[in-house]
Homo-oligomer: A and B are copies of this chain.
Amino acid sequence: MAEYIAPIQRLVEEFRRLPGVGAKTAARYAFAALNFTDDEAVKFADAIISLKRDVHKCPICFGLSSSPEKCEICANESRDPSIICVVENAKDVMVMEKVRGYKGTYHVLGGALSPIDNITAQDLTFDALVERVKAGDVKEIIIATNPTPGGDTTAAYLARILEPYDVEVSRLAYGIPVGGDIEYADEVTLYRAMEGRRYF
């Protein structure tokens, strides 16, 4: 006998697919879902289905788009297409968007280079980025890959393949987080902060 009656057990197993959700949390979610009204349950189920149906990849930047055409950012005429911020994942675009000041566009690589996971340059969207640069009008590339070994390798690779083109390439600064305390910064972050120090 399973731990719960079949319809509940099924939903528990579905919830367990979500990151960081174990058996207890999944059961808690499933029992909460029992208290949904019919309408609420349909809305929830619909939202999951709609995700697969209504989320598209932007053909220009590979970010997420709610239409099969250009995404909202690429289509927005007030954004500057001559500045491209390169990120690993689509979610990173939304993180960067919280920095209200940025008015350029994006390019989503789809991950970071990682020989261990068998992710090579062919698996990421480097070629499409180079095409965007070749098409002209791109003045600046800001690399915003993660400060991880994979992100570092990817940034170095990007800098190399972009070298032949007349475009400025930079990478986000790493250092002590604003509001942080150097006492709690790890050595690598401190080393990066030293390296990136700015003179008055």
Q: Which A residues contact B (CB, under 8 angstroms)?
A: 1, 3-8, 10-11, 13-14, 17-20, 25, 27-34, 36, 38, 40-55, 64-66, 71-72, 90-91, 94, 97-98
Contact = CB atoms under 8 A, between A and B. Distances in A.
30 contacts: A3-B94, A3-B98, A4-B94, A5-B65, A5-B66, A6-B54, A7-B47, A7-B51, A7-B54, A8-B55, A8-B64, A10-B50, A11-B47, A13-B47, A14-B48, A17-B36, A17-B44, A19-B29, A20-B25, A27-B91, A30-B51, A33-B48, A33-B51, A36-B52, A38-B52, A41-B48, A41-B51, A45-B46, A45-B48, A45-B49
Candidate in A38, A42, A44, A65 with the most chain B CB atoms within 10 angstroms: A44
Contacts of A41: 48-49, 51-52
Give the interface centre of A25, A36, A48 by most chain B CB atoms within 10 Å.
A48
A46 to B, nearest CB: 7
B55 A5 contact: yes
Contacts of A64: 4-5, 8, 34
A13 to B, nearest CB: 8
Contacts of A7: 47, 50-51, 53-55, 66
Contacts of A66: 5-7
A36 B18 CA distance: 10
Contact of A47 (B14, B53, B91): B14
A58 B55 CA distance: 41
A155 to B, nearest CB: 23
A92 to B, nearest CB: 11
Given A34-B64, A42-B49, 6 more contacts: A1-B72, A3-B98, A4-B64, A7-B47, A7-B50, A45-B45
Given A55-B5, A65-B5, A66-B6, A14 B44 contact: yes
